[in-house]
Structure formats: structure tokens, C-alpha cells
Structure 1
Amino acid sequence: MNKLTPGGNMRWESMRMILPEHREAWLKHQEENKKVQQPVLDEQHWQEFEYILSEAMEYHQLLTFIFWHDGHFYEIIGHCHFINNTQEQFHILTVDEEIHYLKFDVLINLALH
């Protein structure tokens, strides 16, 4: 549609620009819309995780931890070095020799790597 087309809004036709503040707000809004609510795991999932963890810790196997943080899912691959029941977190040693602490309540999935 150009300015001469009937039905066009000639008054606002020349104002097709977005202020940087509006663009940032729009991008932030789009990012907020992409967020996912944290899934709730049932007892059966926790029993399966317990079995996988015991096998992996006994035979020193790599695990893939998928966890939820701030509306997004993330993945850590490593060995479960220690399970801290008092602080309710896993101590994970990655392949890069980094230690991550992962809370029980953010864990979404656990699988052998």
C-alpha cells in the first residue's frame, strides 16, 4: 500500500520508526512470553531418578541433568559427585572439571549420557 492508495493512513505513513526504548521493551516482552512454567514431577519420576543416580554413582557414569531456571530449560552433563540431603542439592562434576550445585526442586529430567 502506498500513500496514494485509498484507505491508507497518510497522516502516520511517514512515522514508521521505533524508538530504542520501545524496541527494548518489545524484545523484553517477547522474551517473557517464551518463558515456561516449571513442571511438577510425581513420585514415579523421583523413583526413576533415584535408580538412575544409584547406578551412575556406583559405576561412575556420565549423567545428563535437565533443569528449569527462570522459565527456561538448561542441561548439565557430568558425574554426580555427591548428594547433599540437608541442603537438597546435587554436587555435579562436569567433564570440564567444574562443580555445579543443582537444587532438587529444579530438576526436570535425568538420564544416562
Structure 2
Amino acid sequence: MEEFDQRIAYAIEYNLLVKVIFWSDSFTSDITGRVHFVNSINYQLRIESETGEFHRISFKDVVGIAVLA
């Protein structure tokens, strides 16, 4: 988890795109966008996708995070 935290912090600081891979209905899904907000109370990421939509992803569902250059 610490590695994910570092990647998220880096992406927020430099406003970089991230690809988040997460569990959804027993399958893995992915979304590409910018980290808009990290809710540490509810343990959720708020991602603004490339299409402008906002998605909430629970920390427990995250499988991987990659920072895209």
C-alpha cells in the first residue's frame, strides 16, 4: 500500500494521468484519469477520467496503480 500512496502523491503533485486497476463484480477493471481527491476517511480515491466523469474507487478494491507520463 505504501507504494500506491507514493504513486498517488506523485501523480497529484505533478497532475499526471494514472491507470488504476481495481476489482469490480469479481473482475478486474481499469480506468485512466487524474486523481482528483483522496478521501482518507472513507478510504476512497476520486478519479476524473479522460472523458470528464468522476469515479469513486475504494482503496480495498485497488489492485494496481501506474503513473502515465
Which TM-score tier does this pair reach, normalised by the shorter chain? over 0.9
Stretches of 4+ aligned residues off by more than 2 angstroms: none
Partner of 2:39: 84
Q: Distance in 1 between matches of 2:13 and 2:58?
A: 21
**56, 64, 76: which one aligns with 2:11:** 56
Identity of aligned residues (%): 31
Deviations 1:21-49 (A, max 9, x none): xxxxxxxxxxxxxxxxxxxxxxxxx1111
Following superposition, the deviation at residue 87 of structure 1 comes to 1.1
Residue-pair matches, total: 68
Normalising by structure 1, we get a TM-score of: 0.59
Q: Tell me if 1:100 matches 2:23.
A: no
Structure 1's unaligned 5+ residue stretches are 1-45
Distance 1:67 1:58 in 2: 22
User: Where is the helix percentage greater, Structure 1 or Structure 2?
Assistant: 1
Greater RCO structure (CA 8 Å; 6+ sep): 2
Is the partner of 1:75 in helix, strand or coil? strand
Q: What is the RMSD of the two structures over their aligned residues, measured on CA atoms?
A: 0.7
SS of the equivalent of 2:48 reads strand
Higher share of residues assigned strand: 2
Write the letter of the residue equivalent to 2:31: I
